[in-house]
Structure 1
Amino acid sequence: MLDVRRMALLAAVLDTGSMTAAAEELNYTPSAVSQQLRRLEAEVGQPLLHRQPRGVTSTEAGAVLADHARRVVRQLAAAEADLAEIAGLRRGVLELGTFPTIASSLLPLAVSRFRAAHPAIRLTVRSARFDELVRVLEDGTVGMSLLWDYEWNRLDPARFALTHLLDDPTALVVAADHPLARRRVVDMTALADEDWIVRAHDHPVAEVLERSCRTAGFTPRIAFHANDYQEAQAMVSVGLGVALAPRTAVATTHPAVRVVGLGRSAPSRRILLAHRHDRVRAAAELAMHQVLVEVAREYRTRA
């Protein structure tokens, strides 16, 4: 395979008219230039230069190879410029994974701040369930993803590099006219006689309810299985039951419900930012990482 650096050296010699001039321009010695060009001639198997007392001229093969070299040098310079623009956040693409409750609470703040700071980066956000987020993170479809876990199913830090952004407490959602609606905090032990609205299809919050009720010493009576938190809030608002939800899931509430804290009587989940250990992170990913850390810190302060 031809050596690109020697090809560029050939073009420089022909463009300047002599090995001495090319050596000065490229910070070589004339003898080093001569040696490298002889190696290039050995690689191609034919002479590339006519060496004359007052300079050099190209053979037909030398002219052809020098022309290719100039194009290669221009392409390499363009590649370096493109990479510099990406490193400098003047262009590029960032693909981020997330899940619905964070996509409707924390993430819009981060997206707004990132786009204001880096308008040239094309940002794509993919919202999905946990298993799908893990899959697209592992196969490289997204470079980084927001994930969550509870104390009984911690993500393995050997699997992904994890940044703990915040703790998302579990809250109680009650109707506005419920006796507990004006309380700031209640304990799960006070909820044994309530009917419950719970997420369907083995949703994680259903396990949170089961574990929290078991610890409090009772089994929940399920009145309704909801497909999303909006549906759950609607059923709570008409008094069909009460519900548990992560705080981020009820950042926007139904006008006829109230959100009450549960203190330590219900578990929190961790909100995490994950990326693969083996991934070389682009400048845009590092910038978004910093934005998410800052926004999460501010979100914790307001909560």
Structure 2
Amino acid sequence: MEPPVVLLHARRGWPVDVRRLMLLVEILDRGSISGAAEALSYTPSAVSQQVRRLEREVGQPLLARLPRGVSPTDAGLVLYRHACRIRDQLHAAQADLDAVAGLRQGHLRVGTFPTVGSSLLPLAVRAFKEQHPGVRLTVHSARFDTLVQRLRAGADDVTLLWDYEWDRFVDDELEVTHLLDDPTMLVVANDHRLARRRRVRFSELEGQEWVVRESDHPVVEVLNRSARRAGFTPRIAFRANDYQEAQSMVGVGLGVALAPQLAVTNRVPGVRVLPLAHEVPSRRILAVTRSQAISSPGEASMLDTLRGVATSLR
């Protein structure tokens, strides 16, 4: 028999092997040591040896040998009843594990940030829930650092992040999957002189007033780097709290703005979104999980779903 796995402790502190308990159940269900041995593909002597070990562990005789078969002692009957409940719980545990493996139940926690939470992620959530309606799915939106902390702490199973070429996200504890590149777009009012263009070079934007996010926002870094490359310094007209506010200010002619494409999936009236020439940096959209030998089935399925949605968005 296999080496013991100790799951219980008897009154005297002796270890009790749960597999020997299951063997006791098999013997009493079949009424004999030979019947249990045949059912389990053991020799009768091996079964008898395990019974003796179990009796030594509990400190009492468990079986009374009869001319034909065995019967439980009082201690054996007590232990048999408890062992039956343990057997049923083990079967239930295995059924639950099988259900999780088959994604018929379970709980998956996803971290996200607003611009992806309003564009890419809803498509992935819908597809995931259609495939796995029994899995409970919760989503948490937060800032970058908080998302990373939650993932490291195990509060989320999968999180969506972003990075730019000058500040790549690297973490030895985390596994990074590059989903897609999210290009930087130009947002202008419908009546802007460039509104009917199919593509705009950044050098053409010299002299424009700009609607930007807060000064430490990455899209401001994109603007400053692109403007330096084009040889001018941008003039800031308004600092917006979010991309919806930025679009609204652009729509009433306060200035033009830069935004990742996914951030302007939901547009406000009065603006047009134009592609920029390739010299303007794009951001990467990343799916991140904890580095581990085995990913849960839910994590693996969500990563596959995110990859599929990302492919369709490209």
TM-score under structure 1 length normalisation: 0.96
Tell me, in whole angstroms, the C-alpha distance in 2 between the residues paired with 1:289 and 1:97.
13
Q: Which residue of 2 aligns with 1:101?
A: 115
Tell me, in whole angstroms, the C-alpha distance in 2 between the residues paired with 1:138 and 1:228.
27
Could you give the per-residue CA deviations for residues 16-59 of structure 1, whole angstroms, max 9, x where no partner exists? Answer: 11101111222221111101101111111221111122111211
Q: Which residue of 2 aligns with 1:275?
A: 289
Q: Which moved more, 1:265-274 or 1:207-216?
A: 207-216
Stretches of structure 2 that go unaligned for 5 or more consecutive residues are 1-14
Amino acid at match of 1:69: A
Q: Which residue of 1 aligns with 2:163?
A: 149
Q: Say whether residues 1:85 and 2:99 are aligned partners.
A: yes
Deviation at 1:64, TM superposition (A): 1.1
Within 5 A, what are the aligned runs for 1:120-139? Answer: 120-139=134-153
Amino acid at match of 2:136: R
Tell me, in whole angstroms, the C-alpha distance in 1 between the residues paired with 2:51 and 2:278.
76
Deviation at 1:159, TM superposition (A): 3.7
Q: Which moved more, 1:156-165 or 1:167-176?
A: 156-165
Deviation at 1:262, TM superposition (A): 1.1
Could you give the per-residue CA deviations for residues 166-190 of structure 1, whole angstroms, max 9, x where no partner exists? Answer: 0001111011000011111111111
Amino acid at match of 1:184: R
CA 1:144–1:279: 2 relative to 1, 3 Å: farther
Q: Say whether residues 1:71 and 2:85 are aligned partners.
A: yes
Among candidates 131, 140, 154, match of residue 117 of structure 1 = 131
Deviation at 1:157, TM superposition (A): 5.1
Amino acid at match of 1:47: P
Percentage of matched positions with identical amino acids: 60
Q: Which residue of 1 aligns with 2:26?
A: 12
Tell me, in whole angstroms, the C-alpha distance in 1 between the residues paired with 2:156 and 2:235.
40
Q: Which moved more, 1:219-228 or 1:255-264?
A: 255-264
Q: Say whether residues 1:46 and 2:60 are aligned partners.
A: yes
Q: Which residue of 1 aligns with 2:242?
A: 228
SS in 2 for 1:265: coil
RMSD: 1.2
Amino acid at match of 1:213: A
Could you give the per-residue CA deviations for residues 203-238 of structure 1, whole angstroms, max 9, x where no partner exists? Answer: 111111111111111111000000000100011011
Amino acid at match of 1:82: D
Tell me, in whole angstroms, the C-alpha distance in 1 between the residues paired with 2:231 and 2:215.
24
CA 1:279–1:93: 2 relative to 1, 3 Å: farther
Count of matched residue positions in the alignment of Structure 1 and Structure 2: 300
SS in 2 for 1:57: strand
Q: Which residue of 2 aligns with 1:247?
A: 261
SS in 1 for 2:278: helix
Q: Say whether residues 1:27 and 2:27 are aligned partners.
A: no
Deviation at 1:293, TM superposition (A): 0.5
Within 5 A, what are the aligned runs for 1:170-249? Answer: 170-200=184-214, 202-249=216-263
SS in 1 for 2:257: strand
TM-score under structure 2 length normalisation: 0.93
Q: Which residue of 1 aligns with 2:8?
A: none
Could you give the per-residue CA deviations for residues 147-203 of structure 1, whole angstroms, max 9, x where no partner exists? Answer: 100001101153421111100011110110000111111111111100000001521
Runs of 4+ in 1 over 3 A off after TM superposition: none
CA 1:99–1:222: 2 relative to 1, 3 Å: same
Tell me, in whole angstroms, the C-alpha distance in 2 between the residues paired with 1:195 and 1:215.
18
Q: Say whether residues 1:165 and 2:179 are aligned partners.
A: yes
Q: Which moved more, 1:225-234 or 1:100-109?
A: 100-109
Amino acid at match of 1:290: D
Tell me, in whole angstroms, the C-alpha distance in 1 between the residues paired with 2:195 and 2:81.
80
Amino acid at match of 2:86: V
Tell me, in whole angstroms, the C-alpha distance in 2 between the residues paired with 1:88 and 1:124.
19
